[in-house]
Amino acid sequence: MLEIDRRAFLATLGGVAAVALMDHEARADALEDYSIERLDEAVAQSQGQQPTYPTVAELEAQIETRSSRRGVGSLFVGRGTDTVKRLAPLPPRPTLLDFFEHRFAPANHVLQSATRALNTGMSEEIVLACLLHDVVQNLVKVDHGWWGAQLFEPYIPAKSTFAIRYHQALRFYPDEAAGYKYPELYYRTFGVDYQPPPYIEATYKMVRNHKWYMEPRLVTVNDLYAFDPNAKVSIEPFIDIVGRHFKQPKEGLGYDGSPVAHMWRTLQFPDSPL
């Protein structure tokens, strides 16, 4: 009988909190798909074969079978087969913590990433970058490193911005000396034969020779080990770090006239039709 690793299964769906938002049918479908994949892998391994992963062409062939694009922000689509949910309104002068509570939640992945960085004694600039590095995926997933850096650039230290912007490119390039290997998940997400586009390759080469190379590299290190569905995490340990390093505008995020204010308003009002 095939044994299912519950923790691994939950991690593929985004953790316990994400699963809680799925209806019973969606959970059953997800478990069936996961079980089939694990069974195929077990059979392949028993026959001395390697696990099979989709190719880039196979993933591209799925595009017209979907009702939304893979790069759409999480706030704009339902989870699994669910419809979108009504969002809580933000206060008149919203803070970063308000967005964490009402737009980025449950934020388990970034909280785990930042917790690991904090517990391993990394600098507060790195801890802050880990806390913020993926939350922009609620707005958009494509080029989320660049989008995320732009979203936060007016408000955080330059090293944190650099780390957020370039962790995206470094994800595809192992650095065993720093403790980072190519994630197995990427074979499924991007395709077994995926090659990063030229702009990612050029960015990697530039950052590899930059004096701040370790800043985004440490984000990837803490990114890789931050998918424990049973981890207990909270924003509380980071409130002081946010207070020291995040320049909260007195008008509230989205209303300070900064070049990125519109991005915060989009996160605040994703149901606006125009």
Which residues, at least 6 apart from 20, have a Cβ–Cβ distance to it below 8 Å?
A: none
* Residue found under tokens 């300070």: 256
Question: What ranges in 171-213 are assigned the alpha helix state H?
Answer: 185-190, 198-208
Mean pLDDT of 57-83: 84
Decide: pTM greater than 0.75.
yes
Average pLDDT, the chain: 86
- The predicted structure's pLDDT at residue 81: 67
Q: How far apart are CA 244 and CA 102, in angstroms?
A: 22
Q: How far apart are CA 112 and CA 90, in angstroms?
A: 25
Mean pLDDT of 255-263: 98
3-state helix, strand, coil in the chain (%, to 5): 55, 0, 45
Q: Is the pLDDT of residue 2 over 50?
A: no
Mean pLDDT of 182-207: 93
What is the per-residue pLDDT across 147-194, written as a single tens digit (0 to 9) for each?
999 999 999 999 999 999 999 999 999 999 999 999 888 888 899 999
What is the per-residue pLDDT across 17-28, written as a single tens digit (0 to 9) for each?
555 665 555 555
- The predicted structure's pLDDT at residue 16: 59
Which residues, at least 6 apart from 218, have a Cβ–Cβ distance to it below 8 Å?
A: 117, 122, 126, 130, 163, 178
* Rg of the chain (C-alpha set): 19
Mean pLDDT of 47-74: 82
Q: How far apart are CA 9 and CA 153, in angstroms?
A: 35
Model confidence band, residue 1 (pLDDT cutoffs 50, 70, 90): very low
The secondary structure of 21-51, three-state, reads CCCHHHHHHHHHHHHHHHHHHHHHHHCCCCC
Q: Is the pLDDT of residue 7 over 90?
A: no
The phi and psi torsions of 241 (rounded to 5 degrees) equal -65, -45
The neighbour count for residue 147, using CB atoms within 10 Å, is: 21
**CB-based contact 230:88 (threshold 8 Å):** no
Cα→Cα distances 209→49, 204, 214, 217, Å: 39, 9, 10, 12
Q: Is the pLDDT of residue 214 over 90?
A: yes
| 184-16-99-219 Cα dihedral, nearest 10 degrees | -30
What six digits make up the tokens of 200? 């990612």
Q: Is the pLDDT of residue 272 over 90?
A: yes
Model confidence band, residue 224 (pLDDT cutoffs 50, 70, 90): confident
